[in-house]
Structure 1
Amino acid sequence: MPKVLLTFPNGRHKVLTMSYDDGKHADRKLLSIFNRHGIRGTFHLNSGLTETDDERISKQDIPELYKNHEVSAHTVTHPTIERSPREQLIEEIIEDRKGLESIVGYTVRGLSYPNGSYNKKIKDMLPHLGIEYARTVKSTGTFYMPDDLYEWNPTCHHNHQLLDLAKEFIGLHKQQYLYMMYVWGHSYEFDRDQNWDLIEDFCQLIGGRDDIWYATNIEIIDYVKAFHNLKFSANSQFVYNPNAMSIWLRVEDDIIEVKGGEQLSLM
């Protein structure tokens, strides 16, 4: 029986993802930095505030500005949802999805908890509202893959040991593990704290590396779910990929791409 392990695309064992909330004008500068260094991220927007708050990116600018990144839900009006009635919670999430989907033209499937507010009842409701993951504000300082998609804890806020953690992440070479660095924050904080050099230095340090996959939140979710949907033979000597996307596997010491719709021998 061959030893088979999941890898990220092209055999990589590390993934970097970024997560920024509220959709304020400083996103423009942040996105220009990300794009310059090939870094990808998820931006959690409040659809109900795009036209009523002058500090927010307007609806007409969202599709082009966030192209090649993910737009995700953050509720319509940014309430502390742990204190909200169930009916209002449902409306805040569903209507935010509807509003954002009408702007970007694709299905919005993620969420970051506004004000970091959530509880078990909220988590249990999210799958029924079309939400496949939800990010907290509880930084771990670690590089583990999430074990609870509705309590997805990031590695760090950008103001907390960002460069030290980036250097540690770059130095992770044991390929028997999958590592994820997940950074969150608000772009306007760089204006407030006058530390745009921090994210510039981070992106220059960590961008453009062959062993790192640069992905949005939902791309990570989709890829791992697609791996679990692979159909292996009982002896793991061949596999069928019913997904549309390719999945990369480490089989003994070889990296193998299993293309969508393909059945492949692993021997």
Structure 2
Amino acid sequence: MGIIINRFPNGRKKALTLSYDDGVNQDKRLVSIFNKYDLKGTFNLNSGIQSENNYWINQGKTIRRMNIDEIEEVYKGHEIAIHSLTHPHLEDLPKEMLITEIFEDRKNLEKVFGYPVRGMAYPYGTYNEKVLDVMKICGVEYSRTVNSHEKVNLPENFLEWHPTCHHTNPRLMEITKNFIESEFRSMSLLYVWGHSYEFDVDENWELIQEFCETVSNNNSIWYATNIEIIDYLKALDNLRYSADCGIVYNPTAISLWISADEKSIEIKSGETVKIK
């Protein structure tokens, strides 16, 4: 029996996930582009200031948040995650305020969207051990940082999930094309993040259009939200193997995929499969 390697759904080796912050009006245009190319995004919102009255000017462009009664329809089909209640530097706050910023944002978003909100992105990308401790208490299962590494690795720590790159990275398309063209042995993840208002400020909506067109409609890539990636990776960790790895049992609620002797194998929910 050869080496057993985990795979994404349908035996794929590659996945793409996207993350955008702040719940601004420009998200409407971004979501429409994602929808056009059947891509999935995770959008990180600040429910305490989710109003058109909250806006700022950046290089002459108005950046205005959407009203909270708009967001359910705008983000349909995509994931919503926490970005804190009012977008402060979380590490500066006492623990009591930290709990409010994270837990109340989660509760507010769950009331709007009707499902458990389990992910987050750090406002300003800043955090410390105190923030990590509170996030665990508040039921946060992953959080995206702003520490891009230009790699396509899986996250080592879900609460410090470092993305591949920001969309303003001048190497974005080079990284993307290398990801598409490379033949990886292990599972690989391209994770791009940003703010949709930056396309207005930089006057380069054609960049995200080109990116989406380039990565879309590729059978070798699994297009997933952040939480779908996390749930799948956690489920893979729950596979149970016999001592000689010749038998595998899937106790989870979803189908999982592995590769043995370079052959893709599906292990359905509740199923026990003989690998050899």
* TM tier relative to shorter chain: over 0.9
Q: Structure 2: how far apart are the matches of 1:101 and 1:114?
A: 19
Cα deviation, residue 74, structure 1: 0.3
Cα distance in 1, alignment partners of residues 242 and 205 from structure 2 = 51
- Structure 2 residue 21 is the aligned partner of structure 1 residue 11: no
Q: Cα RMSD between the aligned structures? A: 1.2
Write the deviation string for residues 153-178 of structure 1: whole angstroms up to 9, x where unpaired: 1111101021111111112213x221
Query: What does 1:213-228 correspond to in 2, within 5 Å?
Result: 213-228=222-237
Gap runs ≥5 in structure 2? 56-63
Shift of residue 264, structure 1, vs aligned partner: 1.6
Contact preservation (8 Å) 2:42, 2:79: yes
Counterpart contact for 2:148–2:163, Cα < 8 Å: yes
Across the two proteins, how many residue pairs are aligned to each other? 266
Match of 2:186 in 1: 177
Corresponding letter in the other structure for 1:33: I
Give the equivalent residue in structure 2 for 1:53. Answer: 54
For the residue of structure 2 that corresponds to 1:150, the secondary structure is helix
Quote the sequence identity (%): 48
Q: Helix, strand or coil: the match of 1:134?
A: strand
**Residue of structure 1 in register with 2:118 after alignment:** 109
**1:3: how far off?**
2.7
Q: Which residue of 1 aligns with 2:43?
A: 43
1:118 to 106, 127, 143: 127
Partner of 2:59: none
Contact preservation (8 Å) 1:2, 1:236: no
Per the TM alignment, residue 109 of structure 1 is displaced from its structure 2 partner at its CA by 0.6
Partner of 1:99: 108
Q: State whether residues 140 and 153 of structure 1, in contact with CA within 8 Å, keep that contact through their aligned partners in structure 2.
A: yes
What SS class does the counterpart of residue 19 from structure 2 fall into? strand
d(CA) in 1 for partners of 2:140 and 2:108?
A: 15
Partner of 2:207: 198
Alignment partners' CA distance in 1, 2:136 and 2:242? 30
CA contact (8 A) 2:6 2:186 kept: no
Deviation per residue, 1:175-208 (Å, 9 max, x gap): x221111111000110111000000001111111
Cα distance in 2, alignment partners of residues 266 and 62 from structure 1: 46
How far apart are 1:230 and its partner, in Å? 1.1
1:68 is matched with 77
| Match in the other structure for 1:28 | 28
Question: Unpaired segments of 5 or more residues in structure 1?
Answer: none
Partner Cα separation in structure 1 for residue 139 and residue 41 of structure 2: 20
Counterparts of 1:246-257 in structure 2 under 5 Å? Answer: 246-257=255-266
- Is 1:164 aligned to 2:174, yes or no? yes
Higher alpha-carbon deviation: 62-71 or 219-228: 62-71
- The offset of 1:92, in angstroms, is 0.3
CA distance in 1, matches of 2:275, 2:6: 13
For residues 216 and 154 of structure 1, the distance between their equivalents in structure 2, rounded to whole angstroms, comes to: 13
SS in 1 for 2:264: strand
Give 1:214's aligned amino acid: Y
1:137-158 CA distance string (max 9 Å, x none)? 1111111111111111111110
**What is the CA–CA distance in structure 2 between the aligned matches of 1:217 and 1:256, rounded to whole Å?**
24
TM-score by length of 1: 0.96
Contact 1:2 1:237 in 2 (8 A): no
